[in-house]
C-alpha cells in the first residue's frame, strides 16, 4: 500500500504539522476558549510559600513539566503498536497529540490554575460533588497501581537485556541526590553542579558495559528480582524530600532526553533510512484487533490521563503567569508526541531489512513479548545514532538508559502521587494509620509488587500493558469531562473538549471490554487484572453518566471570566 517510505520525510511532515498546530490551534484555544491573560493572578502569586507554590521561569518549569510527563510510555507504547503497521501508529500519534493530548494537558493546567492549584480530584469534587471526587480518586489510585507495576517490569526487562545500563542509572541517582544536597543544603547555584553531574552521567554511559562485565553477579538478577529491588527503591524515593531526588533527577532527565532527541533526529537525517515495516499489518498473530487497541496501546504518546495529574498536581502551582500555560501545557505535549514519533521510526526504520523487523514483530509475543518490542526501539535508535560516528554498543546503551531513566521517573512520581492519594482517601474516611506517609507508601508499593510479581509475566510482560493503557485513557476521558462541565458553567464552547472526551472514552471502554474478556478467560492466572479492570469500568461509567447528566441539563453559573469563584 505505502512502500519505500523515507523515515526522514515522515519526521519532517509531522514536525510541520506540530508547528502549525502550536502556532494556530493552541493560540485559538488560549484566546477564544480559555481567554488567557498575562495580567491574570495565578496561584503561585496568591499562595507563594517557597515549597509548593513558587513562581518559576518559563524555561525551567517547561523542563520540569516535560520530564514529569515524558516517562517511558511514549516510547514503549509506539514500539508495541507498530506491530499493526507504521501508518496507524503515526496517524494516531500525530492527530491524537494535536487535537486530544495537547488539549487535555493544556485544559487541565488552566482550570487547576484557576482553582488555586488544586488537583483534578479536588476540582471534580467542586464541580460534580464529593461522591465523584471519591470515585475519581479511586480510579487514579488504580491507575498508579498499574503504572508502578508496569514500569518496574519495563526497567527490569531492560536491565536484563542491556546490563550496560545498570551502572549509569545508578550513577544518575547518586548524582541527582548530590545536586539536590549541594543546592538546598550548601547554597550552590543550579548551573555548576548540574553541568558537572550531566558530564559525569554521560561518561558513565561509556563505561556501563565494562562495569557489568567486571561484576557479573548483577547480570544474573532476573526480571522478577529487579522488580523487587526497583519497587523497594521507589518506596524510599516516595518518602524522601522532593528536593533530594525527584527535582534534580527531573532536571537531569530533561537534558538527557533533549540530548537523545537531538541525536536521534540528527542520525535520522544523516542515515535517511527507509521504513522496512509494512504500512498496515491488521492481523498479526496473537495480537488484539487494531481497533480499538491502537488507541490504548499508544497512550502517553497521543493522550494520557497521567498528564492531567501532573498538570494539576505540581505544574499549576508554579506558573509565573497564566499565558505560560500555553507553551507548557500544549507545547510540552507536542514535544512528547515528537518522542512518540521517534519511537515509531526507530522501531520501523531502525532495522536494515524487513526480515529483521519481522523477527521482533512476527507475533504479539514474539521473542518474549515486551522485551522484543523494547529492544526494537533500543536497537533501531542505536542504529540512527551510530550514523553520527558513535559506536553502536555505546549508542544502544544510551538508548536503553533513556528508556530506563524515564521509567524510573515514572516510578518516583507515581509512588509519590499514590502515597498522596491514599492519604487523601484515608483522611476522608478517617483511617488514621494511613495518614502516615510511610504506611501509605508501603501500602501502595506493596500492592504494586503483588501485581507485578503475580501478573507481570503473562505474555512476555505484555499482559499488564493493556490494563495500563485503558485505565490511563479512562482517566483522560474523565478529565476532559470535568473540563467540559467547567467550560459550560462558564459560558464557553465545549465542543473542543467534548469531542475528544467522547472519542477517547468510547474507544477505551470498547478496548477494556475486550481486555476483560481475555482476563476472565484466564481468570486463574490474571485474577487481579480481571477484578481491577471491572472496578475501573464500573467507576468510570458511573462518573461519565453523572457528567453527561450535568452537561445535558445545561447547568450554568454566571460567567466569571473563567476564574474559580
Is residue 437 within 8 A of residue 419, CB to CB? The reply is yes
- Listed by start position, the domains of the chain span 7-553
Dump pLDDT digits (tens) for 278-320: 999 988 888 899 999 999 999 888 999 999 998 987 899 989 9
Placement of cell 526497583 in the chain: 230
Rg over alpha carbons for the chain, rounded to the nearest Å, is 22
Average pLDDT across the chain, whole number? 89
Question: Nine-digit cell at 224?
Answer: 522478577
109-113, 226-230, 429-433, 473-477: segment of lowest average pLDDT: 429-433
Is residue 187 within 8 A of residue 376, CB to CB? The reply is no
> Residue 141 CA to chain centroid, in angstroms?
15
Query: Confidence class of residue 25 from pLDDT cuts 50, 70 and 90?
Result: very high
Question: Nine-digit cell at 333?
Answer: 505535549
* Helix count and strand count (H, E) for the chain: 25, 0
Secondary structure in 3-state letters for 187-229:
CCCCHHHHHHHHHHHHHHHHCHHHHHHHCHHHHHCCHHHHHHH
Q: Which of 154-168, 182-196, 248-262, 501-515 has maximum average pLDDT?
A: 501-515
pLDDT at 397 over 80: yes
Give CA–CA dist 208/215, Å, rounded. Answer: 11
Dump pLDDT digits (tens) for 146-175: 989 988 988 888 898 889 999 999 999 999
Domain 7-553 fold is Amino acid/polyamine transporter I (1.20.1740)
Give CA–CA dist 157/117, Å, rounded. Answer: 37
Dump pLDDT digits (tens) for 419-478: 888 988 888 888 888 888 899 999 999 999 999 888 765 555 667 888 899 999 999 999
Query: Confidence class of residue 51 from pLDDT cuts 50, 70 and 90?
Result: low
Q: What is the pTM of this model?
A: 0.90
Give CA–CA dist 66/44, Å, rounded. Answer: 19
pLDDT of residue 457: 57
Say which DSSP state 4 is in: S
pLDDT of residue 292: 94
pLDDT of residue 73: 86
Dump pLDDT digits (tens) for 258-282: 888 899 999 999 999 999 999 999 8
Give CA–CA dist 390/399, Å, rounded. Answer: 12
371-380, 395-404, 535-544: segment of lowest average pLDDT: 371-380
Q: Using alpha carbons, list the distances in angstroms from residue 105 to 55, 311, 316, 333, 515.
A: 19, 7, 11, 7, 26
Percent of the chain clearing pLDDT 70 (strictly above): 94
**537-544: average pLDDT:** 95
pLDDT of residue 561: 45
Beta-bridge mates of residue 563 = none
Q: Helix, strand, or coil here: 337?
A: helix
pLDDT of residue 239: 86
Amino acid at each position: 500500500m505505502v512502500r519505500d517510505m523515507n523515515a526522514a520525510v515522515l519526521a519532517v511532515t509531522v514536525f510541520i504539522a506540530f508547528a502549525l498546530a502550536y502556532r494556530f490551534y493552541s493560540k485559538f484555544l488560549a484566546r477564544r476558549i480559555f481567554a488567557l491573560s498575562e495580567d491574570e493572578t495565578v496561584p503561585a502569586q496568591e499562595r507563594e510559600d517557597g515549597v509548593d507554590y513558587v513562581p518559576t521561569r518559563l524555561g525551567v518549569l517547561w523542563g520540569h513539566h516535560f520530564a514529569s510527563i515524558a516517562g517511558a510510555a511514549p516510547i514503549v507504547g509506539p514500539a508495541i503498536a507498530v506491530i499493526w503497521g507504521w501508518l496507524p501508529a503515526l496517524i494516531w500519534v500525530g492527530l491524537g497529540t494535536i487535537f486530544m493530548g495537547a488539549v487535555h494537558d493544556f485544559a487541565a493546567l488552566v482550570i487547576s490554575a484557576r482553582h488555586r492549584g488544586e488537583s483534578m480530584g479536588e476540582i471534580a469534587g467542586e464541580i460534580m460533588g464529593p461522591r465523584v471526587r471519591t470515585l475519581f480518586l479511586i480510579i487514579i489510585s488504580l491507575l498508579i497501581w498499574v503504572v508502578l507495576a508496569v514500569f518496574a517490569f519495563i526497567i527490569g526487562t531492560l536491565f536484563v537485556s542491556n546490563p550496560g545500563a545498570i551502572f549509569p542509572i545508578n550513577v544518575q541517582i547518586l548524582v541527582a541526590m548530590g545536586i539536590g544536597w549541594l543546592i538546598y543544603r550548601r547554597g550552590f547555584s543550579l548551573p555548576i553542579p548540574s553541568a558537572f553531574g550531566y558530564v559525569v552521567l554521560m561518561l558513565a554511559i561509556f563505561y556501563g558495559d565494562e562495569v557489568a562485565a567486571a561484576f557479573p553477579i548483577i547480570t544474573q538478577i532476573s526480571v522478577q528480582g529487579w522488580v523487587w529491588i526497583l519497587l523497594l527503591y521507589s518506596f524510599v524515593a516516595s518518602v524522601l524530600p522532593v528536593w533530594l531526588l525527584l527535582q534534580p533527577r527531573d532536571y537531569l532527565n530533561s537534558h538527557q532526553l533533549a540530548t537523545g532527541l537531538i541525536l536521534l533526529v540528527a542520525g535520522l537525517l544523516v542515515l535517511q533510512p527507509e521504513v522496512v515495516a509494512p504500512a498496515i499489518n491488521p492481523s498479526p498473530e496473537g495480537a488484539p484487533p487494531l481497533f480499538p487497541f491502537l488507541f490504548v496501546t499508544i497512550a502517553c504518546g497521543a493522550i494520557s490521563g497521567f498528564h492531567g495529574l501532573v498538570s494539576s498536581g505540581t505544574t499549576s502551582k508554579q506558573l509565573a503567569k497564566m499565558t505560560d500555560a500555553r507553551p507548557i501545557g500544549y507545547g510540552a505535549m507536542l514535544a512528547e508526541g515528537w518522542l512518540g514519533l521517534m519511537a515509531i521510526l526507530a522501531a520501523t526504520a531502525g532495522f536494515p531489512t524487513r526480515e529483521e523487523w519481522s523477527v521482533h514483530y512476527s507475533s504479539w509475543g514474539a521473542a518474549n513479548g515486551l522485551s522484543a518490542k523494547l529492544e526494537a526501539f533500543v536497537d533501531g535508535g542505536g542504529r540512527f545514532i551510530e550514523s553520527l560516528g558513535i559506536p553502536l554498543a555505546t549508542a544502544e546503551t544510551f538508548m536503553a538508559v533513556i528508556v530506563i531513566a524515564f521509567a524510573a521517573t515514572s516510578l518516583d512520581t507515581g509512588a509519590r502521587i499514590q502515597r498522596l492519594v491514599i492519604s487523601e482517601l484515608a483522611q476522608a474516611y478517617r483511617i488514621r494509620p494511613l495518614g502516615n506517609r510511610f504506611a501509605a507508601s508501603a501500602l501502595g508499593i506493596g500492592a504494586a509488587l503483588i501485581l507485578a510479581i503475580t501478573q507481570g509475566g503473562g505474555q512476555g510482560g505484555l499482559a499488564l500493558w493493556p490494563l495500563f493503557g485503558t485505565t490511563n485513557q479512562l482517566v483522560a476521558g474523565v478529565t476532559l469531562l470535568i473540563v467540559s462541565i467547567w467550560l459550560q458553567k462558564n459560558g464557553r464552547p465545549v465542543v473542543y473538549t467534548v469531542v475528544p472526551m467522547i472519542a477517547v472514552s468510547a474507544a477505551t471502554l470498547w478496548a477494556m471490554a475486550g481486555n476483560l474478556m481475555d482476563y476472565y478467560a484466564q481468570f486463574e492466572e490474571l485474577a487481579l487484572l480481571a477484578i481491577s479492570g471491572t472496578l475501573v469500568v464500573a467507576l468510570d461509567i458511573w462518573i461519565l453518566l453523572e457528567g453527561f447528566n450535568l452537561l445535558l441539563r445545561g447547568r450554568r453559573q454566571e460567567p466569571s471570566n473563567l476564574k474559580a469563584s
